[in-house]
Amino acid sequence: KRLILIGPPGSGKGTQSPIIKDEYCLCHLATGDMLRAAVAAKTPLGIKAKEAMDKGELVSDDLVVGIIDEAMKKPSCQKGFILDGFPRTVVQAEKLDEMLQKQGAKIDKVLNFAIDDAILEERITGRWIHPSSGRTYHTKFAPPKVPGVDDVTGEPLIQRKDDTAAVLKSRLEAFHRQTEPVIGYYKNKGAVAELHAEKSPKEVTAELGFLLRQNS
Ligand code: AP5
Ligand code: ZN
């Protein structure tokens, strides 16, 4: 399967991805995670991306299209992939179409994590992550067994630099202005399925499973 997850910051894309990834043996391509790793390693890409990310603005289309083009060539992605956080502009969606056309492949489903903006601040400001595995926790909704510590490795958890109420405002603005049109782009192709992303993580997982089993 080739899936796209679209939704605002905190809508649950990164929480649900590992679950469907394991169930369907897909690779999980999260541009945000890849960019954060590049920033942490101070690679040329990371240096170029950092400023926009800190402000909650989008990184340039050329940079992220390059990352995805490279990542999709990996053998582990040949059976299928989950795109989490890409495409985020109509230009990125058009470039993705070109890349897929070359491989004779197409997107099976676009999952739209529909949710009210008002819920997102609490989700974002309570998030803690384990950077090397991508595991995500929440102080209230998904607390780790020991506060500030990863359940599996015992390593420390961190908070994302852009997970503040102020930066969330710009991220939401970018979502509505630049990413919402991408949902329209795929609606015209008839590939979009809506999720009730305000429900509990388990309920969202169940809904996802139901949507993915349809006509597959
Ligand atoms: P990115 O990392 O993609 O961030 P985002 O889109 O803002 O999404 P988040 O990771 O914040 O949300 P999520 O939906 O994954 O939420 P999660 O599941 O963790 O991008 C970061 C930056 O990189 C961008 O601002 C941009 O600068 C750049 N970038 C990335 N891709 C780009 C692109 N294509 N083009 C240009 N620039 C790009 O959940 C959040 C919290 O809520 C967690 O604590 C979780 O435990 C909790 N939670 C999850 N689900 C539920 C639930 N159902 N109920 C209660 N709590 C829940
Ligand atoms: Zn995420």
Q: What is the pLDDT of residues 179-209, one digit of tens each?
A: 999 999 999 998 999 999 999 999 999 999 9
User: Taking CB atoms and a 6 Å cutoff, what residues make up the pocket around ligand 1?
Assistant: 7, 9-15, 31-32, 35, 52-53, 56-59, 64, 85-86, 88, 92, 123, 126-127, 136-138, 141-142, 171, 200-201, 204
Say how far apart CA 27 and CA 81 lie, in whole Å: 5
Task: Considering every ligand atom shown, identify the ligand nearest to the alpha carbon of residue 169 and give its number.
Answer: 1
Q: Could you tell me the CA-to-CA distances from 180 to 19, 103, 134 in Å, in that order?
A: 25, 27, 25
Say how far apart CA 192 and CA 181 lie, in whole Å: 13
∠107-37-90 over CA atoms, to 5°? 35
Distance 72 CA to ligand 1 centre (A): 21
Burial class of residue 147, CB neighbours in 10 A (0-12, 13-18, 19+):
exposed
Q: For residue range 118-174, what is the model confidence (pLDDT) as tens digits?
A: 999 999 999 999 988 889 999 999 999 999 999 999 999 999 999 999 999 999 999
Question: Phi and psi (nearest 5°) for 105?
Answer: -115, 165
Task: Considering every ligand atom shown, identify the ligand nearest to the alpha carbon of residue 64 and give its number.
Answer: 1
Distance 98 CA to ligand 1 centre (A): 26
- Looking at the CA of residue 84, tell me the nearest atom of ligand 1: 3
Active site residues: 13, 88, 127, 160, 171
ipTM above 0.85, yes or no: yes
Q: pTM of the prediction?
A: 0.96
